[in-house]
Amino acid sequence: MSTDLIHPGNPVEPFLRTDRMPHIWCPGCGIGTTVNCFSRALIESCMNVNDMAIVSGIGCTGRVAGYVNLDSFHTTHGRAIPFATGLKLANPKRQVVVYSGDGDLFAIGGNHLIHAARRNIDLKVICVNNLIYAMTGGQTGPATPGDVITSTAPYGTFDPAFNLPYLTEAAGAVYVARWTTFHVRQITKTMQEMFSKKGFCFLEIVSPCPTLYQRRNKMGDGLDTMKYYKAMSKVKHGANTKDVPLSRQGEIIVGKFVDIERPNYMELMRNKLHDSLGEQYVETDELTCEEATSCSDCS
Amino acid sequence: MQADPAGVLTGSHFLDGDHACCEGALAAGARFSSGYPITPSTEVVERFAARVPTVGGTFIQMEDELAASITLQGAVWGGAKAFTVTSGPGFSLMMEHLGYAVMTETPCVFVNVQRGGPSTGLPTLPAQGDMMQARWGSHGDYEIIALCPNSPQECFDLTIKAFNYAEKYRVPALVMLDEVVGHMTEKVVIPTADQIEVEPRHFTTKDPNNFHLYAPDENGAPEMAHLGQGYSVHVTGLTHDERGYPNMTPQTQDSLMKRLKNKILDHVDDIVLYEEQDVEGAEVVVVSYGITSRVAQRAIDMAKDRGLKVGKFRIITAWPFPEKQIREIASKVKGIVVPELNLGQMVREVERAANGQCRTKLVPHAGGTVHRPEDILNAIVEVLR
C-alpha cells in the first residue's frame, strides 16, 4: 500500500490534548463539534495560538479548557468571566476566550456576564447552550424552555427562560451571534470574526444533550436533533434580539444579530487616566516583563 | 530581589492601617487589585485605585466579592502580583476562591479587615471573628498562611511578607487586620526600595516539552510558567496530576492533598512569626494577636506593677499556628490567658497546643470595641489563684 494513501492525521490534532483522549462527552453531544469548529477557526485565522488563553467554568462545556492545547483554565462554577477579566487586564494584548455552558454563564455567572458586557471587556464568550444542566444530572437551567421535562421539573418547566442574545445585547455586547451545531461552517466563520473584533463578543451555539434533554423529552437522539436544527433554523442576520427566543421545538432564529463599535474597557480606562493624570500616568501593555508575539504580518 | 522603587513611598508617613497595607502591597510589587467595597476595608483599594495608575498597573472594582476573589487569580496567571481586600461578609463570599487558589497554587494575597459578625453584624466596629474562617472556611483539607498586624507599621511590613510567602510557597496568604488596626493612624516608616526584600515569582526556565506545571521543586512548591510561551499550561480546581490534568483516583487525591499541606507544614519555622516578652520565669503568659495584643500589654503592665510574673506572647503568624512555641510555654507556666475579640476561636488552638500542661483561660469579647484591660488583668489574677 502506498504511504501517501495513509491519512497524515487530523488537521485539528495540534490544537487538542490528544493525550487526554477519549474525552468525557456523550455520543451525540454537540460540544465536541464546537471544539472542532474552534480549532478550525484557529487554523483559518492568523492567530499565534500562544497568544490565546481559554477559560472555562464548570459543567460539560466547562471541560473544553482541558482538551484544547492552549494556556487553559478550568475555573470555578460561574466565574470563568471574572477570571478571564483578570487574565485579560494583566495581558491586554493576548486573546482571551471564555468557553462555557448556559447554566454556568447565565445562572450562577449571570451577574458577571452582564457586568463584563457593560464594561465591554475584550473577551470572546462562546456559550454552548444545551438548554439544561447536563453534567450534574439534567436539571432545569436558565435557558431551559417551557414545557420541558427535567430532573427538577418532573411535571415540565414553567419558569420563563432567558433569551441569551437579547440579554447579552441589552447588557452591552458589541457582537452577538447564534448558530446551532448543525451550522459548523458558520460557527467557524463567526469565531474567526470574533477573534478579530475588539470588545465583548458573544456567540451562542445551540447544541443537543441527547442523554438528558432529548431522551427525557422523547426527542430522539443526536441525529434527530440535527434534523430538527436543519429543518427549523432560519437565518436572519440583523434580527432584533427581542424576537429570537427559543422554544421546545419551535423555530430557531440564527445568524449575526449585533455588530457595533464602542470603546472597550482598556480604551476607556487609558483615555480617562491619560486625561486626568497626564504625564503621571504610567501605561502598561502587560503587567509582566514578557512580550506577546503579534500577528501583525497577517492581514 | 529588591523592591521596584516605583512602588515604594520611601519616608516617614502618618498613615492608617488600611493605607499602610496598600503601600505594603505596592512595595511588594502588587500591580493589580480587584475589589468590592466593604467597610472597614475599602480604604486599602481606594488608595490603590489612586496610586497604581502612576506606577503602572490596574485596579478594577468588580460586581461582587465572588468576582473580585477570582479576577485577581486570572491576573496572577497573567503574570501580575495581585491582591483583594474585604471584610467578614465579603470574606465569606470569597471562600470558594480561597480554595481555588490553594488547589491551583496561585500565589496571591487576601486582606481581611475584620468587623463584628455574624452576618452584617457591626460594619464599622472591630472584632476578631474571622480567625477560624480564615483557616477552615473553604472546603477540604488545606493550609494557608495568615498574618496579624497590630499597628499601621506592621500593616505595611506584614503585607510585604504576605506577598513574599505567597510567592515562595505558592499559596494564598492572608493579612488579618481588625477594624481598629485598619483605622488607627500612626507613624509608618517606609524604607528605600533597596532595603525591601521582595520574593520574585518563580518562573521556570525549563523547556516546555520538559516541564510539568505541578511537579514540586525541593521546597515542595512547583515553578510557574510564563503564559504565551508555548507551555500550554492547564490549570484546574479538580484534583490533578503533575501535568495539571484532572485525575480522580484516590491515590492522586492523597498525594496532592498531602503535598499541598506539607509544603507549608514542612516550613513552619520559616513562616511562624511571633513576639515574646518576659516569658522566661513567667507564671502566666498572655497570648494575644492584633489589636487585642495592645490592650493586653496594658493589662500585663498593670499586673507587673502588682508584682505578678506575667509574660507576653504575641501571635503574628496565626496560621500555621505557633504550636511548638505555645507547647513550650505551657510546660513552664501555671496558666495561659487568651483575650480575643470573639467568644473563643484561637483559644482552642492554644488549648490544643498546651495539651493540658497548664490552665488556659479565655477572655472573650463579642466585639464592637476592645477589651477593658481590667478584664484581662482579672483573668491573670484568677489563673494565679
Nearest by CB: A69 against B227, B232, B238? B232
Same fold flag, B2-195 and B274-384: yes
Enumerate the H helices of B230-331 as residue ranges: 250-265, 268-271, 291-305, 323-330
Q: Tell me, what amino acid is at B237? A: G
Contacts of A70 in chain B (CB under 8 A): 232
State which H helix or E strand residue A65 sits in.
Answer: helix A64-67
> What does the alpha-carbon distance between residue A204 and residue A125 come to, in Å, rounded to a whole number?
8
Q: Tell me the pLDDT band of B149, cut-offs 50, 70 and 90.
A: very high
Across B84-109, average pLDDT: 98
| Substitution target from B26, B63, B84, B240 for chain A, most A beta carbons within 10 A | B63
Q: How far is CA A196 from CA A39, A61, A119, A175, in A?
A: 16, 23, 19, 11
Q: What is the pLDDT of residues B324-337, one digit of tens each?
A: 999 999 999 999 99
- Right CATH number for B2-195 from 3.30.930.10, 3.40.50.970, 3.40.30.10, 3.30.1220.10? 3.40.50.970
Average pLDDT per run of 10 along chain A, which is 299 residues long?
Answer: 64 93 96 97 89 97 97 98 98 96 98 98 98 97 98 97 98 98 98 97 98 96 96 98 97 98 97 97 75 38
Contacts 24+ apart (CB under 8 A), A145-150: A145/A246, A145/A247, A145/A248, A146/A247, A146/A248, A147/A248, A148/A213, A148/A217, A148/A248, A149/A216, A149/A217, A150/A212, A150/A213, A150/A216
Measured at the CA of A78, the angle between CA A77 and CA A82, to 5 degrees, comes to 120
Q: Tell me the pLDDT band of B219, cut-offs 50, 70 and 90.
A: confident
| Substitution target from B103, B227, B233 for chain A, most A beta carbons within 10 A | B227
Structural domain spans, chain B = 2-195, 274-384
| Substitution target from A52, A75, A285 for chain B, most B beta carbons within 10 A | A75
The average confidence (pLDDT) of chain B is 97
By CB neighbour count within 10 A (0-12 exposed, 13-18 middle, 19+ buried), where does A155 fall? exposed
Q: Does pLDDT of B218 surpass 70? A: yes
With CA atoms as reference, the chain B residue closest to A65 would be B234
Q: Does A250 touch chain B (CB under 8 A)?
A: no
How near does any CA of chain B get to the CA of A52, in Å? Answer: 7
Contacts of B231 in chain A (CB under 8 A): 71
- What pLDDT was estimated at residue A284? 87
- What pLDDT was estimated at residue A46? 76
> What does the alpha-carbon distance between residue A299 and residue A292 come to, in Å, rounded to a whole number?
18
- What pLDDT was estimated at residue A1? 47
- What pLDDT was estimated at residue B77? 97
- What pLDDT was estimated at residue A5? 62
Q: Which three cell numbers stand for residue B109?
A: 494575597
By CB neighbour count within 10 A (0-12 exposed, 13-18 middle, 19+ buried), where does A166 fall? middle
Q: Does pLDDT of B343 surpass 70? A: yes
Q: What is the pLDDT of residues B26-67, one digit of tens each?
A: 999 999 999 999 999 999 999 999 999 999 999 999 999 999
Q: Does A145 touch chain B (CB under 8 A)?
A: no
Phi, psi of B310 (to 5 degrees): -120, 135
Phi, psi of A31 (to 5 degrees): -65, -45
By CB neighbour count within 10 A (0-12 exposed, 13-18 middle, 19+ buried), where does B56 fall? middle
Tell me whether strands A124-129 and A201-206 are parallel, antiparallel or unpaired: parallel
- Which 148-177 residues of chain A touch chain B by CB within 8 A? none
| Listed range (A3-12, B286-295, B300-309, B369-378) with the worst mean pLDDT | A3-12
Q: What is the pLDDT of residues B223-242, one digit of tens each?
A: 999 999 999 999 999 999 99
- Which 256-285 residues of chain A touch chain B by CB within 8 A? 269, 273, 277, 280-284
Percent of chain B scored above 90 by pLDDT? 99
- All structural domains of chain A: 13-280 (3.40.50.970)
Contact B34/A55, CB-based, under 8 Å? no
**How many interface pairs between A and B have CB atoms less than 8 angstroms apart?**
163
Contact B97/A76, CB-based, under 8 Å? yes
Contact A73/B238, CB-based, under 8 Å? no
Contact A72/B234, CB-based, under 8 Å? yes
Instruction: Say if CB A246 and CB A206 are below 8 A apart.
Output: yes
Q: What is the pLDDT of residues B238-277, one digit of tens each?
A: 999 999 999 999 999 999 999 999 999 999 999 999 999 9
How near does any CA of chain A get to the CA of B82, in Å? Answer: 10
- What pLDDT was estimated at residue A297? 40
Across B130-154, average pLDDT: 98
Q: Which three cell numbers stand for residue A264?
A: 472597550
Q: Tell me, what amino acid is at B46? A: E
Contact A111/B236, CB-based, under 8 Å? no
- What pLDDT was estimated at residue B147? 98
Question: Side by side, which strands form the sheet with B359-363?
Answer: B274-277, B310-315, B284-288, B335-339, B359-363
Contact A82/B232, CB-based, under 8 Å? no
- Which 49-108 residues of chain A touch chain B by CB within 8 A? 50-51, 53, 55, 65-66, 69-76, 78-79, 82-91, 94
DSSP readout, B95-159? HHHHHHHHHHT--EEEEEEEEE-STT-EEEEE--TTHHHHHHSSSSS---EEE--SSHHHHHHHH
| Substitution target from A63, A83, A135, A289 for chain B, most B beta carbons within 10 A | A83
- What pLDDT was estimated at residue A7? 63
| CATH architecture, domain B274-384 | 3-Layer(aba) Sandwich (3.40)
Nearest by CB: B32 against A66, A90, A280? A90
